[in-house]
Amino acid sequence: MSTSAEPGRTWPLVGRAAELDDLDDLLATTAGGDGGTVLVEGEAGIGRTGLVEALASSARLLSLELRAARATTQRRAPFTLLADAVLTHPPGVGARGPVEAELADLLDAQRTDAGRERAPLAAQRTARATELFAALLRRRGDSGPWVLVLEDVHHADAESLGVLLDLAHEGHLPGALVVLTMRPLPSSPELSGVVDAWVRAGARYVELRPLGPVATVELAQRLVGGSVGPALRGTLATTGGNPRFVTDVVRTARSAGALETRDGVVDVQGSAWLPALDTVVRGRLEYLDDDVVDLLAHASVLGTSFVVTDLAALVGCPLPDCWRTLRTALAAGLVHARADRLVFRHDIVRGALYAGLEERRRRAMHARAAWALREAGAPTQIVSQHLERAR
Ligand SMILES: Nc1ncnc2c1ncn2[C@@H]1O[C@H](COP(=O)(O)OP(=O)(O)OP(=O)(O)O)[C@@H](O)[C@H]1O
Ligand SMILES: [Mg+2]
C-alpha cells in the first residue's frame, strides 16, 4: 500500500494516501481563502490522531496557523474544548482581542460561581459565551486562513457542541479548515445533532477504515525495522488492521524480549510474551462499559463468530437485553454482522478476553455453551468440543 511521500511529514503514515490527499486538497483550498469542514470518524486506535498530526505538518508547510484541542472525559466544564483551542495563546503569539477578553471573563465568572449562581444567570452567561465563541470562530479567518482541529468530540462538553451546532447552521467557517475527529462511541443526541448539521452544511465525512493485510504488515515492518517472519505475521493477522493493535503487538513482543532477527527477518520466538499482549489488549477495552466487555467475554467462549440467540442462551439473558448490549459492541466496531452471525472484528480481542477468564469460570461457560448449543441443534462435534473444554 502506498505511503505519502510528501516532504516535511514527521513520519510516514501507512495506507492512508487517499485520506491524506483529500485533506491536503482541502488545506490548499483553505490556504486559498475558502472554508471547509471534515468529520473524521473511526474505531478506537484506528489512526485519527495520526491523520491529524500529518495534516498539521502539511499545514505548517503552507504556513497556515493551526489551533488544536482534544476533549477528554476529565475536563468537561462548559466551553473547555473551544477555550483550549482558541483562548490559549502560544507564548509570543497574538494578543487578546476584546471578544477573547470578554469570553475569558465570562468563563472565569462561570467557574467561580459554579453551583452557586441562579439558573437564569447561568443560562444568560452560556448564551452570551455561545454567541461570542461563534463570532470569534467565524471572524478569525479575516486575518488569514487557519486550521481548527477538535479531537475526540465524542467527549466534548455540551456547550462547545452547542457552538459547533450553531456554526453549522451558517455553513463552513470562512477561511478555515475545521476538522472534528470522533470515535463512534460514546454517542449522544447532542453530538449526532452536530454531525448531522455539519453533514447537511457540506462537511466531508471521512470514515477511517482498518488497514488492509499488506499495510498491516508494512506498518509492522516499519516498527521492527526489517521484514517480518511468519509467527509475527500470524499474530498481526489477528489485529483486524487496527494500527494501535499492530503497535501493541510489536511493542509488547519487543519489551518481552521475544523479537529475534535471523537472516534479516524479524520474528517472535515462543509464546511466553502472549499473556502480556492479552493484558495490553484488555486494557484497550477500558473505555467500554463492563456489561459490554463481559458479554463479549462470554461470546469469546463461542468462538470467532457466534449466533446471537446462542449467546443469549449461554448468558441466560433475555434476547432484547443481550441485543441492546451487542449493539454497543457493533457500534464500537468490535464485532460485525456476517449473514446470521456476529464476528469478532479483531481476533486479538477475542483471544485476550478468552484468556482473561478465570479458569473455573471458563470451564463452566464451556459446559453451559455445550448445553445451549445442543438445545439449539448444533452439530455433535461442536457440542463435544465445548464439553472437552469444560473438563
Ligand atoms: N496509518 C498509520 N501508519 C502508521 N502508524 C499509524 C497509522 N495509524 C495509526 N498509527 C499508529 O497507531 C497508533 C494509534 O493511532 P492513533 O493514536 O492515531 O489512533 P486514534 O484513532 O487517534 O486512537 P484513539 O481512539 O485512542 O484516539 C499510534 O501509535 C499511531 O502512531
Ligand atoms: Mg486519538
pLDDT band at 33 (very low <50, low <70, confident <90, very high): confident
pLDDT reading at 80 higher than 70? yes
CA of 209 to the centre of ligand 1 (A): 12
Output the pLDDT for position 120: 75
Condensed to tens digits (0 to 9), the pLDDT of residues 217-272 reads 999 999 999 999 999 999 999 999 999 999 999 999 999 999 999 999 999 999 99
* CA 247–ligand 1 middle distance (angstroms): 9
Pocket of ligand 1 (CB under 6 A): 13-16, 42, 44-50, 183, 219, 243-244, 247
Top-tier CATH class for 17-207: alpha beta
For atom 9 of ligand 1, the residue with the nearest CA is 47
Among 13, 49, 251, which residue has the most ligand 1 atoms within 8 Å of its CB, making it the best to mutate? Answer: 49
Closest C-alpha residue for ligand 1 atom 16: 47
Single out the residue of 149, 194, 198 nearest to residue 172, CA to CA: 198
Q: Could you tell me the distance, in angstroms and rounded to a whole number, from the CA of residue 248 to the centre of ligand 1?
A: 11
Residues 17-26 have pLDDT tens digits of 999 999 999 9
pLDDT digits (tens, 9 = 90+) for 278-331: 999 999 999 999 999 999 999 999 999 999 999 999 999 999 999 999 999 999
Same fold, 17-207 and 290-390: no
CA 46 to ligand 1 center in whole angstroms: 6
| CA-nearest residue, atom 25 of ligand 1 | 44
- 1, pLDDT greater than 60: no
pLDDT of residue 254: 97
Ligand 1 center–CA 158 separation, angstroms: 26
Ligand number with the minimum distance to the CA of 53: 1
Residue of the CA atom closest to atom 5 of ligand 1: 13
Sequence-distant (≥ 6) Cβ neighbours of residue 162 within 8 angstroms: 126, 130, 190
CA of 42 to the centre of ligand 1 (A): 11
The better pLDDT of the pair 204, 12 is held by 204
- 163-207 residue pLDDT tens: 999 999 999 999 999 999 999 999 999 999 999 999 999 999 999
Q: What is the pLDDT of residues 317-346, one digit of tens each?
A: 999 999 999 999 999 999 999 999 999 999
Q: What is the reported pLDDT for 92?
A: 58
Residue with CA nearest ligand 1 atom 31? 50
Ligand 2 center–CA 313 separation, angstroms: 37
Topology, domain 290-390: Arc Repressor Mutant, subunit A (1.10.10)
Separation of CA 29 and ligand 1 centre (Å) = 26
Residues 287, 331: Cα–Cα separation, whole Å: 13
Q: Whose CA is nearest to atom 15 of ligand 1?
A: 47
Q: What is the mean pLDDT of the chain?
A: 93
Q: What is the pLDDT of residue 391?
A: 92
pLDDT of residue 88: 83
- Which listed ligand is nearest to 218 at the C-alpha? 1
pLDDT value, residue 8: 36
- Domain-wise residue ranges, the chain: 17-207, 213-283, 290-390
pLDDT tens for each residue of 88-126 = 876 655 567 899 999 999 998 888 877 666 677 788 999
Mutation probe of ligand 1 site: the residue of 20, 46, 244 with most atoms within 8 A of C-beta: 244
Q: Which ligand is nearest to the CA of 239?
A: 1
